[in-house]
Structure 1
Amino acid sequence: MPQLSDLPVSDNTQLLLGVVACLGAIAVIFRVYLPGSKSGFPLPPSPPNRRLLGHFVPPRNAFLTVAKWIDQYGPLITIRTGTENIVIIGRHKAAMDIMEKHGVLLADRPRMIAAQMLTGGLTIAFSCTGDRFRRMRRALHTHLQPKAAETYQPLQMSFAKNTVLNILDDPHNFQNHMITYSVTTIMAVTYGKTTPTSVTDPDVRAVRQLLDVYRTVLRPGAYLVDTIPWLRYLPWYGQKLKQEFKSNRKLFAGQMNRLKQQLQNNVDVSPSFGKYLLENEHLYGLTEMEMHYLSGTLFAGGVDSSAAAISTVLMAAACFPEEQAKVQAELDAVIGRHRAPTFVDQKSLPLLDAFISEAQRWRPLGPNGFPHRTTKDVVWASENYCIPAGTTVLGSHWAISRDPEVYPEPHAFKPQRWIDEQGRLRDDLTFCFYGFGRRVCPGQHLADRSVFINSLLVLWAFQLTLDPTKPLDDVGFMHVAIPDVPCPIEFKLRVPDAELRCMMQNYPEVE
């Protein structure tokens, strides 16, 4: 019998390739079909698939494909990408039962090597559970809890009135005005910089470029290193990711060092998260670089997200004029048109709050959800499914928002669904706009206030309509970005120009 060494080189190569292929196939079988659950319950059902590399999910508007699978195969489905199983949750009850009640078991993130290369492992959004994550999360939540977030309302009011004035002067570029509001607010909240900041600011442009890379990194299969981790050690691989890390480390450090220098020189600095960290670093045990990146993450997270959320509400108003008219009738009855509304009016405006909630359900930001990872087996007793430890789990915001049992006629725009028989906001209807469990967005209370005050002022001051001669991309804001193509909204004054300008100039900043 010939020995391996006696075979020709070409035969050796073919034999080795054959062995590798067999071992790879065995690994896939064990990984995919024997995922290691000890419960005896199966994985959620999987759509048919004949592709060796797993299910095909289109890179654009993947949420629509996922929603069709959810409708066809049930509230939970399993898809495969490479050798990895991904469980997607697409119904409200399943999300509450699994991602909220078992939030501790789903607080981890899956291994995302490209994201680690981009952030150096320092960004809380991509951090795995552990000591660093807990320290960072505690600092963020302590400073951004509802009572703390409320202290920023005067700033938000001041910047929101500028939004109205900017629309008056240049209504066709309202999307840029929303970004201006968003970046000015988040710069003030993060670093105490209260002077207006525009979309052309170099630091803002750098962060928005980083956000574009983030969106790419989160797309399964975008970077080969997530499948072949040792590629990260090759000096030529991932140069763009490594360069982005260096650039943004410099940016975040520069912002915090400027603030630190101001404090050391006894400069009167406005309250901010960065100031809070520097004055209380002993409470959280964060390193200097961890503080830089924690503040930088808050900054980056607020640059486009608030602008996209506000723009979604305004787009909904233009798309559904009858519902807009109901909100404006409420505004006229509660406020009138001879004074400008403020946060104090919120409790008297349930229709506006309902309209905002429905707009966010109608076109949810981040429709695909953000990946979680199970640290132990999670059994969903309602259907006797098991999600094994180490599985990536996604809560599909789009599919959950289309759950017909919770949101009847889910494709219709019906703000009234959020109102009870007494005309008050329902307290039994929810939607996870900001994520799930221990990974919920810590800036949610701040973001809610930004969306409310801008929606309030704009809908009080203007009647919004669509320009029928221009195309409308009504899902463009969902990717937490401002599209390059303007949304064709036209603004008609509900208050005379001179009166509106006068009221905005005298708008109160503190209530």
Structure 2
Amino acid sequence: MASGTTLALDLIAFVVSILLFLRVNKWRMRKGLCLPPGPPRLPIVGNLFGMPRESSWLTYTEWGKVYGDIISVQVFGQAVVVLNSAKVARDLLEKKASIYSGRPTIPMFELMKWSWFEMSNTYSAKWRLQRKMLDRGLRPSAAVHYRSMEKDKVHRFLKQLLSRPKEFLKHIEHLQGAITMSLVYGYDVEEENDGYIKLALDTNEIGQRTMLPGSVIVNDLPFLKHLPEWLPGMGFKALARVGEKLGQEVVNRPFTLVKSNMQLGTARRCMTRENLLEAEGTHVSNPEEVDLAIAEASASVYNAGVDSTVSAISTLFLALILHPDVQATAHAELDTVTGGQRLPDYGDRSQLPYVEAVCKEVLRWRNVAPVGVPHATTDDDIYDGYIIPKGTTVISNIWAILHDPRVYPDPDKFKPERFLMPDGRVKEDATLTAVFGFGKRICPGRHLVESTLFIVAASLMATYTIGKAKDPQGNEIPVDGTYTGATILSFPKEFKCSVVARSNKAEELIRKDTWGNAAA
């Protein structure tokens, strides 16, 4: 016989399900209006059992072939609308940004107390303050001040590849962590197992696997967060405690370091220091509140920056392994510009259109965040005859947008030349900006990502040849090119490769003490 507690839980679940079911169906009763089409739904639970848990972008793309560029699913009455084309995404997320710039409530983030994370915050006064701080530190004019630092980190990366080429994935992770920590906090990462990088990676791992609809059960059944932890299926609560602790450390630990260095007069130029100095100059009446806003804005960049570009640089390596002809063309262009006598620099960017096209194709071919970060409607909307109710989760399927054969013929092929005009100049491509999101929620660090990827790609291909690794018998080790698909960011699954200096001169350039001066 069932216990009283079990019966009570069943009753709660049943009542909540009915209420949600009725909430959704009120839209169906509006004459001529319904949600966008989508796969068949079961009563009450909707598409609960059909929601993709792995590589959701591929499932959404296949559904789009059947139901169109705008589709919908439901889980216990909560509508999720997926946008599968650039036109629909722009029509809604940009032209109607005033009602499509919200973020869905993420019950797991509420449990972890992640209100500090700008990327998931709803459109509000707090978010606008955070965004202002991020834009100040990440705009192109500000990024110029950090170019010397970036080159220093990239040079160290080239040396690491020379001494331990088999650990290239670890070096990529260290490179991006070092750039992010220096940019945001003025902290120089020396050790590859640095605690600050590990902290960000651990925090990201939890955030990525608990953000999307269907990723954890409490996101689909929010009432579960009110139930006791000892009940079966409540394991997400223990994970939430870990996430809360990590989040507090991410916000406070590096921020406190900057504040301490400022008091000592040793703080380097960085985004956090500049925002603190700006706040001091405006004589704010609530310094503690402003400090918290700066700490949270910095933590958002810290967290987002450590992981995202790692995926893009890893994809660069993979693309060069699988497409030696692309690498050969880039080598020739780089040698024409540098003469093989120096490392390429930011000033060479306009003279390296093919290298630039390689970077663009890396971002398009294997998107860092294939479904982006979900938006949410803050009011009812009608689009193309469909109702999109207030509170709907809206997902832009960036993978589908950047693999649309109507825009990119042979979308699964890695073809940098698709971004070049007949005269060899780089082609402007408005669709590619989808990789950074849409509207008011577009990634504030997009300019930094593009410049970092360029200097890494140009420096790497100027000095190294990337190829397939070989086993002890001399046979090439196959590379299947598969990607992870369970979190909001997608990474190449671990692969092996050969990293060999192109020439004695290239090795000499790598071993120099600085970007331009030979070692004594």
The 5 A counterparts of 1:51-130 are 53-55=45-47, 56-130=50-124
- Would you identify which runs of 4 or more consecutive aligned residues in structure 1 move more than 6 Å? 13-20, 36-39
TM-score by length of 2: 0.87
Secondary structure of the 2:118 match is coil
Equivalent of 2:462 in 460, 463, 468: 460
Deviation at 1:191, TM superposition (A): 0.7
Q: Deviations over 1:115-148 (max 9, x none)?
A: 1222441211111111111111111112211111
Secondary structure of the 2:71 match is strand
CA 1:473–1:57 in 2, change beyond 3 Å: closer, same or farther?
farther
Q: Report if the CA contact (8 A) 1:37-1:387 is conserved.
A: no
Secondary structure of the 1:426 match is coil
Residue number in structure 2 paired with 1:415: 416
Q: Report if the CA contact (8 A) 2:119-2:373 is conserved.
A: no
Q: Which moved more, 1:57-66 or 1:230-239?
A: 230-239
Q: Report if the CA contact (8 A) 2:177-2:197 is conserved.
A: yes
Matched residues in 2 for 1:34 and 1:392: separation? 18
Gap runs ≥5 in structure 1 = 1-8
Q: Report if the CA contact (8 A) 1:313-1:360 is conserved.
A: no
CA 1:187–1:18 in 2, change beyond 3 Å: closer, same or farther?
closer
Q: Deviations over 1:152-200 (max 9, x none)?
A: 11111111111111111111111111111111111101110134342x1
CA 1:205–1:168 in 2, change beyond 3 Å: closer, same or farther?
same
Secondary structure of the 2:382 match is strand
Whether 1:218 and 2:218 are equivalent positions in the alignment is no
Matched residues in 2 for 1:301 and 1:216: separation? 14
Whether 1:437 and 2:435 are equivalent positions in the alignment is no
Residue number in structure 2 paired with 1:389: 390
Residue number in structure 2 paired with 1:157: 151
Equivalent of 2:367 in 344, 364, 368: 364
Whether 1:48 and 2:40 are equivalent positions in the alignment is yes
Q: Report if the CA contact (8 A) 1:37-1:388 is conserved.
A: no
Residue number in structure 2 paired with 1:507: 515
Q: Report if the CA contact (8 A) 1:321-1:465 is conserved.
A: yes
Residue number in structure 2 paired with 1:310: 313
Residue number in structure 2 paired with 1:209: 202
Residue number in structure 2 paired with 1:405: 406
Q: Report if the CA contact (8 A) 1:160-1:181 is conserved.
A: yes
Gap runs ≥5 in structure 2 = 470-475
Residue number in structure 2 paired with 1:425: 426
Deviation at 1:111, TM superposition (A): 1.1
Q: Report if the CA contact (8 A) 1:79-1:86 is conserved.
A: yes
CA 1:321–1:79 in 2, change beyond 3 Å: closer, same or farther?
same
Residue number in structure 2 paired with 1:5: none
Deviation at 1:497, TM superposition (A): 6.1
Residue number in structure 2 paired with 1:469: 477
Q: Which moved more, 1:41-50 or 1:279-288?
A: 279-288
Q: Report if the CA contact (8 A) 2:81-2:394 is conserved.
A: yes
Secondary structure of the 1:280 match is helix
Equivalent of 1:278 in 276, 295, 300: 276
Secondary structure of the 1:226 match is helix
Whether 1:253 and 2:252 are equivalent positions in the alignment is yes
CA 1:429–1:125 in 2, change beyond 3 Å: closer, same or farther?
closer
Cα RMSD, aligned residues only: 2.9
CA 1:49–1:279 in 2, change beyond 3 Å: closer, same or farther?
same
Deviation at 1:102, TM superposition (A): 1.8
Q: Which moved more, 1:308-317 or 1:287-296?
A: 287-296
Letter in 2 for 1:258: L
Deviation at 1:476, TM superposition (A): 4.0
CA 1:16–1:213 in 2, change beyond 3 Å: closer, same or farther?
closer
Q: Report if the CA contact (8 A) 1:340-1:504 is conserved.
A: no
Letter in 1 for 2:387: C
Instruction: Provide the aligned length of Structure 1 versus Structure 2.
Output: 493
